[in-house]
Chain A
Amino acid sequence: MTVVPPLSDRPGDLSDLRQFGVALTRDDRLVLDQASATALVDRLFRQAALETVSPEVRDDKDRAAGDDARVRAFGQFVRLHRRHVRRLALDDGEFGWDENGESAQGKASAGEIGIAAAVRALPLELREPLLIVVLAGFNHREAASALDISLATLITRLTKARERVAALTRPHAAAAPRAAPHLRVVK
């Protein structure tokens, strides 16, 4: 087994990891646009040195090894991204800043926004499990392993993430009613 840049012999995995990475890294606070997110993902890819498996899958053992490598690759990417976020916070002098803090949009009251914006508004700890399960197609056990959390924590975070996205994308009609308009006499 050789050490090479991330999953270079498995283009499908690389594409999945890139898609997951771009979706994960973009938010409303640190990485504001698509180009920045893509560049950050490329940089994290360069930092990663991931073990890969042979592309020829001969039997179940090989397939299990491939799945295991996939979990490790995503796990390593998540760890590098968390480290990057912490470093940015320290560089900016936000010593007390929590990587799990909500963005401004996330703190905003529920209203109708797009699904992508709602996902970006989630705190990182909720965005990670939602995207790794929904976008990367990991089962729960693999996702918990890649994110280095327990299965119970994963389920709790998935529940919070899905409920929050549903609340943010709900139409205005479901939100709190506005004050009724009224006429004022102007002299």
Chain B
Amino acid sequence: MEAARLADLHAYVDDCLESDERLAFEHRMAQDPALARRAALWRAQSNAIRAAFDGEGAKAFPISIVRHQNETFGRAARSGTAAKPSGEQPPRATLSAVARSRRPSAKTIASDAFRPSLLWRLGVATLSFCLAWFWAPATTVIPGKRLGEAGVAAFQAFALPGAEPVEFATSDMSEAQAWLTTRLARPVYLPATPSAVKLVGARIAPYPGAPAAFLVYRSKDRTVGLLVQSLDAPPTTAPQLLAADGGAAAVWTWRGQGLALVGDLDAADLPRIAADFADLPAEAAQPMPERGW
């Protein structure tokens, strides 16, 4: 692939093109399926990288806690690597292994004398537990943005024209539900299919932490995707339209799951179809699969 075309492809994947350049490139992709496949692959890869490293910044430890261990730990691990024969995979060092390898110095022994007693530690632990108990949030936080972004990413990666959008093709909702429950090894509950759309099939989609269920529907001549992920007992909520990752998603919760409806539809159609999904009575849905499968 020539350099200019490659640069355009990267610029398209990384959203660095102006709107007219973007349209021109999409026109080129329509004529070149290999280019479109590569763009979809790289875009899905970027979304997966963002999801994999999501929250790294917030997971920071206080420097005073880990700095000393880090310096000792890293050096011990590296010296272990250097000592091993080149073909052998070095064992991953642990903090306890590093601690065992260090001989106590006079300074360490002196500081040990001032270590807090077991009783003090127990008191602090009890106090922390009580604070955590009383200050625990009363309601589950619903990751609406994350659901929407995962739904848009799955739709862009799997529901593009020409790609095979589903792993399990079926128009029967109960079959799709049983297949997803088996594949994900946890109960998956699907809302009954509204009359405006027709089920095409199901597949597994990436989601931070655990894979999610992704269903593909057809609405007239358009494709619609529904991402379903189990959450920690959220209350049932009505669909809400969110902007996610350059697209739009209607996100709601139902039966302990988060659902995100995405598709290449008009802005007015997405909430309408989401409302159809959410408004159907629970009796219309198939019976709940047994827990414990």
Contact = CB atoms under 8 A, between A and B. Distances in A.
A31 interface: yes
Given A36-B73, A39-B66, A155-B6, A134 B46 contact: yes
Given A35-B66, A134-B50, A165-B45, A155 B7 contact: yes
A115 B53 CA distance: 10
B268 interface: no
Contacts of A35: 61, 66, 69-70, 73
B269 interface: no
Given A38-B61, A92-B82, A135 B74 contact: no
Interface residues of A, number: 47
B3 A155 contact: yes
B53 A116 contact: yes
B10 A140 contact: yes
Interface stretch (A11-19, A52-60, A69-77, A176-184): A11-19
A111 to B, nearest CB: 14
Question: Could you say which of B16, B48, B53, B79 has the most chain A C-beta atoms within 10 Å of its C-beta?
Answer: B53
A23 interface: yes
Nearest to A18: B57
A158 interface: yes
Interface string A139-158: 11000000000011001001
A135 B53 contact: yes
Contact of B53 (A19, A39, A42): A19
Interface of A: 14-19, 22-23, 29-36, 38-43, 88, 92-94, 104, 114-116, 119, 130-131, 133-135, 139-140, 151-152, 155, 158-159, 162, 165-166, 169
Interface of B: 3, 6-7, 10-11, 14, 16, 41-42, 45-46, 48-50, 52-53, 55-61, 63, 66-67, 69-71, 73-74, 77-79, 81-82, 89, 92-93
